[in-house]
Structure 1
Amino acid sequence: MQEYFIGIDGGGTSCRAAVADAEGRILGRGRSGASNILTDPDTALRHIEEAARLAFRDAGLAEDLSAASALLGVAGNNVGDAVSYVLARLPFARAEIVSDGLIALQGALGDADGAIAIVGTGTIFIVRHQGRIHYLGGWGFQVGDLGGGARLGHAALQESLLAHDGIRPGSALTKRILDEFGHDPKMVVDFARAARPGDFGRHAPTVVAFAAEGDPTALRLMRDAASQVDEALDAAARIDGGTGRLCLLGGLAEVYSAYLADRHRDRLAPPLADALTGAVELAVKTLRTGAP
């Protein structure tokens, strides 16, 4: 009987699935809605199954998920209650849940040693060295995610209030942000009190755009954020000796490549593939019958 393997890349806004044969050849793909197993596990389960069925349909296969093996890369894989709840309700013959960072690493590097920096709303840095996986950062906005888009947007709001109070010089960036809030600092404070990381992150593209035009405040914020990414990459290099591929992933990846220190920029390489491909590769490696 033909074995089929499903890779799942589950995120807060969408869930992507791909079905492959026992050789790892991708036969079909599907996409559905949000699949955050921490905040809404039941919706995540529905969208995981929907994306998998769409992948089977895309491949022209009967939608018999009960005979397939699946590997899911999702945020929150280290929260035991959420993982147990989801695993017990998945429609697959066998399933494993790993971190979304691990499938991104596998996609970017294949089986080789190296490192990835995921720089989006938040940040996390992952190193593979001599077969061992090392995670750096990824502790969330309140105590981590340095260099991420949420931190960048948050810093822009801070600078705008400092400029409003005459503590620091203003710029076109701070004026743009204050314009958005009617030059009323109380509105900035009200926004910040209720804001989630993604809300702060929506101001990051404004900082990036003004930095590209030479705005002094935006440039300082970009350089400060890039120095934090540099610091994490220095720690990664102490683990792997600065060898192997270094891939930047996430929404700010292309932006940061211009701001990083030369020692890291010189090592950058494009990822071999995406996280969904990584999920499929890991599914075949770990769930294939008789796999080592």
Structure 2
Amino acid sequence: MTESLHTRVIAIDGGGTRCRLALWTGRDVVSVETGSANVSTDFDGGVRQIIEGVGTLAAKVGESVDAFSTLPAFVGLAGVTGPEIADRLRQALPFAHLRIEDDRPAALRGALGDRDGVIAHCGTGSFFGSRIAGAMRFSGGWGPVLGDEASAQWIGRAALKVTLRAVDGRLKPSGLSQMLLDRFGGAAGIVRFGGTARPSEFGALAPHVTEHAAAGDALGCRIMGDAASDIAQSLPAIGWVPGMTICLTGGIGPHFEPYLPAAMQADVSASVGEPLAGALSLAKDFAMEAAR
């Protein structure tokens, strides 16, 4: 690879809500955004979003997709569960020099930068990660059926569950449960929605939960507290100890801070950057390795 190949790099960060692509020109960053790109739940759809984004990014800087294909690229995507799906992606994407990982390393690198610490990344899905003495460690991220605790889709599902329990008389109704009953036309409407809804559609309900919880709604607080309990149990398992930085990332992550134990609240710190910034850092690392 020539010098020009490792001064310009492409980074792609994709998840259940959106896919972001960036070009580092050697001086600045040019970025674009497309739709959902989880290659486990919808491989072909995720690839389409990436291809569309590459074309948009190339057009934005006045270049061809063919010119981009020679640049080192780092791709971090939700749903990359192992070598098999990574190999499928490698064949489907228009890059000659490509490193593919799941979306966790980019989020961890973006949030912590060069610091040691842990993250609870809670977007449409969720996972937990740590960086200690330079070593990364991850847990969770097992998807909407078997995992993704404290994610937006988990919160949305939980809101519908507690609403149905309130209908049964097992829980006391609240403003949140009444709002959801009104929104879906009663319990039958909730059941119909739940039978076909995608994770992103469940996740779209999460802002209603955070808003009601912040106003003191009992069911909203119950849901947020249960999710925060999962976070509090998960972070020590990947190395967190009191005094170590905690970053709450993703669209819903920061909303959990007041529901965490006091010792954890004391260690919550702002993220250095977003996952796309982490993906760019990893793309630059990849380019330097490839140039050696």
TM-score normalised to the size of structure 1?
0.87
Measured at CA, do residues 84 and 211 of structure 1 come closer, stay the same or move farther in structure 2, by a change above 3 Å? Answer: same
The count of residues paired between Structure 1 and Structure 2 equals: 287
Matches within 5 A, 1:135-154: 135-154=138-157
Q: Is the 8 A contact 1:129 1:240 kept in 2?
A: no
Q: Does the alignment pair 1:19 with 2:23?
A: yes
Measured at CA, do residues 34 and 169 of structure 1 come closer, stay the same or move farther in structure 2, by a change above 3 Å? Answer: closer
Which residue does the alignment assign to 1:248? 248
Which residue does the alignment assign to 2:234? 232
Residue 200 of structure 1: which of 192, 202, 211 is its match?
202
Which residue does the alignment assign to 2:136? 133
How far, CA to CA, are the matches of 2:272 and 2:217 in structure 1? 35
Offset at residue 246 of structure 1 (A): 1.6
Q: Is the 8 A contact 1:29 1:56 kept in 2?
A: no
Offset at residue 225 of structure 1 (A): 2.0
Offset at residue 2 of structure 1 (A): 1.6
Residue 66 of structure 1: which of 66, 69, 72 is its match?
69
Q: Secondary structure at the match of 2:69?
A: helix
Q: Secondary structure at the match of 1:77?
A: coil
Q: Runs in 1 of length 4+ with deviation above 6 angstroms?
A: none
Which residue does the alignment assign to 1:166? 169
How far, CA to CA, are the matches of 1:151 and 1:119 in structure 2? 10
Q: Which structure 1 segments of 5+ residues have no match?
A: none
One-letter identity of the residue aligned with 2:105: L
Offset at residue 247 of structure 1 (A): 0.9
One-letter identity of the residue aligned with 1:188: I
TM-score normalised to the size of structure 2?
0.87
Measured at CA, do residues 264 and 179 of structure 1 come closer, stay the same or move farther in structure 2, by a change above 3 Å? Answer: same
Measured at CA, do residues 209 and 134 of structure 1 come closer, stay the same or move farther in structure 2, by a change above 3 Å? Answer: same
Which residue does the alignment assign to 2:267? 267
Offset at residue 221 of structure 1 (A): 2.2
Residue 215 of structure 1: which of 214, 217, 220 is its match?
217
Q: RMSD of aligned C-alpha atoms?
A: 2.5
How far, CA to CA, are the matches of 2:268 and 2:212 in structure 1? 25
Identity of aligned residues (%): 36
Offset at residue 18 of structure 1 (A): 1.5
Which residue does the alignment assign to 2:193? 191
Offset at residue 290 of structure 1 (A): 5.6
How far, CA to CA, are the matches of 1:167 and 1:39 in structure 2? 34
1:102-135, CA deviations, whole angstroms, 9 ceiling, x for partnerless residues? 1011111123321111112332100111222211
Q: Secondary structure at the match of 1:67?
A: coil
Q: Secondary structure at the match of 1:112?
A: coil
Offset at residue 166 of structure 1 (A): 2.3
1:160-200, CA deviations, whole angstroms, 9 ceiling, x for partnerless residues? 222222233222222222223433x3333333233333333
Offset at residue 217 of structure 1 (A): 2.2
Residue 106 of structure 1: which of 85, 106, 109 is its match?
109
Measured at CA, do residues 173 and 72 of structure 1 come closer, stay the same or move farther in structure 2, by a change above 3 Å? Answer: same
Q: Secondary structure at the match of 1:141?
A: helix
Offset at residue 243 of structure 1 (A): 4.8
Q: Secondary structure at the match of 1:142?
A: helix
How far, CA to CA, are the matches of 1:82 and 1:290 in structure 2? 22
Q: Is the 8 A contact 2:11 2:22 kept in 1?
A: yes
Q: Is the 8 A contact 1:108 1:274 kept in 2?
A: yes
Q: Is the 8 A contact 1:6 1:52 kept in 2?
A: no
Measured at CA, do residues 130 and 47 of structure 1 come closer, stay the same or move farther in structure 2, by a change above 3 Å? Answer: same
